[in-house]
Chain A
Amino acid sequence: DTGVSQDPRHKITKRGQNVTFRCDPISEHNRLYWYRQTLGQGPEFLTYFQNEAQLEKSRLLSDRFSAERPKGSFSTLEIQRTEQGDSAMYLCASSLDQGIYGYTFGSGTRLTVV
């Protein structure tokens, strides 16, 4: 297993366009998380899946954001009508049930909205 994979690594898009990111977690991990990290800040929680169920969403996740995890495997995060404020690193992480012991993070997708 090669860990948590995220694709693409970098994405540059024009304001108003839609973008979609993909995350492939560690195969036996049932929990999957999305975080957003802006420059000079720590990551902030966006949303969480247990298997295919999206169980919690942050207030940061406006209605332009949607996340899915079909069949409890990979996940996608879509941002519609991107704004410059969406520019950030989007991090995916996965863990087994006991998330209190720490997650495994992917390398992230860096989004730049121009």
Chain B
Amino acid sequence: GNSVTQMEGPVTLSEEAFLTINCTYTATGYPSLFWYVQYPGEGLQLLLKATKADDKGSNKGFEATYRKETTSFHLEKGSVQVSDSAVYFCALSVQEGAQKLVFGQGTRLTINP
């Protein structure tokens, strides 16, 4: 079946630190990969995506590269800000049928000033 495994949190960093949140996946097909972010009290927002191997998704200083050989899609940011504090979800979607999203359990990130 399809599944996503994320680095467990919570993760606490100081402002301007380097961020990595690990994500690996298992999929029966050829999935698209996503990172979603959930700020306190809000719904999920699409942060970035990649639809094929070696694609790099990027947005707001965050990046993730679709690595088919290691079945990974790690999220990185070179210098985090307090406003990046949120819960981050890695997810995949396969092309068949409903194209539903399968999510990881989420990683809570707190950035201290």
Bin chain A's interface residue count: 20 to 34
The CA of A72 and the CA of B16, in the complex, are separated in Å by: 46
Q: Are A105 and B100 in contact (CB under 8 A)?
A: no
Some 19 contacts from A to B, beta carbons below 8 A apart, are A4-B43, A33-B98, A33-B101, A40-B106, A43-B44, A45-B101, A45-B102, A56-B97, A56-B100, A91-B44, A93-B44, A95-B99, A99-B93, A100-B51, A100-B94, A102-B32, A102-B49, A102-B93, A105-B45
* Chain A window 67-99, contacts with chain B (Cβ cutoff 8 Å), 1 for yes, 0 for no: 000000000000000000000000101010011
The CA of A41 and the CA of B98, in the complex, are separated in Å by: 21
In the complex, what's the smallest C-beta–C-beta distance from B38 to chain A, in angstroms? 9
Binding site for A on B (CB under 8 A): 4, 32, 34, 36, 41-46, 49, 51, 89, 91, 93-95, 97-106
